[in-house]
Amino acid sequence: GLTCCYFKHLGWPARQIMTNPILTAVIGAYMDTKLSTRRISGFIRANALNMSDYIKQDYRCFNDFFTRHIRPELRPLPQDPVCLSAPCDGRLSAYHLEETGVFDIKGSRYDVRALLGGDPRAALFSGGDCLVFRLCVDDYHRYHYIDDGEKGENVFIPGRLHTVRPIALEHTNVFIQNCREYTLMQTRHFGTVAQIEVGALLVGRICNHDGAGAFTRGAEKGCFYYGGSTVVLLLQKGRATVDERFFAATRRGEETRVLLGQGGGGVAVRAPV
């Protein structure tokens, strides 16, 4: 489809149109209408979705369907609370942050401070780790809290809406150019964690449910409306030990399929104090 290869085949003017938030807003408005329900059956067939995995409900629009609730027993949290659970379904890539807060994705250099819109608290993550969870259109599109704790206000950073597919990462600093929303969370087991929700091509809205305040491990934090999207976690140095297999796969140019909670083992554990 177009989102798979538009960076290869579209010129700069066409990419500017495709990534403009106004176009996404128009498409998103349509996806909120009853007329858009006619797209649901074809989407289920095209993506071979097993609808028995989801709580049965009546969909008033396509976005109701897109943000459908999965049966909670299919996404158990790790039993051990010191295991950091995946915040969402997705394809995981893992990166070590340099002491300067810089990391490399497919030849593009990213700076954590720029990712957080210039927030000086980005320095908290120097030498830590960055976990990138890329959601595809057929994934469960709600994301959840990784631990108990207290969070600050959500900070929205406007931008464009490039696709987050790997092909795009080779051509542009997607996560710094795209619309995104972040919050800093003081967690019980992992210190300060930054969570960034990144919009992508044809994502109508990033919808976080809560402002500043307490949160509970496994509770729903928010959801993405129609399109692909990404959740990024920034972890402080020495506060969590990420499974090495995720870094190894990323170095090979591979993403690792993970599910919300990631079963019994999580994607990281609290480092010894």
Q: Which residues are catalytic?
A: 89, 229
Q: What angle do CA 205, 211, 215 make, to 5 degrees?
A: 110
Measured torsion, CA atoms of residues 99, 105, 107, 109, in degrees rounded to the nearest 10: -40
Rounded to whole angstroms, the Cα distance separating 51 from 213 reads: 34
Cβ proximity of 270 and 242 under 8 Å: no
Amino acid type, 42: G
Amino acid type, 155: V
Cβ proximity of 237 and 128 under 8 Å: yes
The values of phi and psi at residue 93, to 5°, are -125, 145
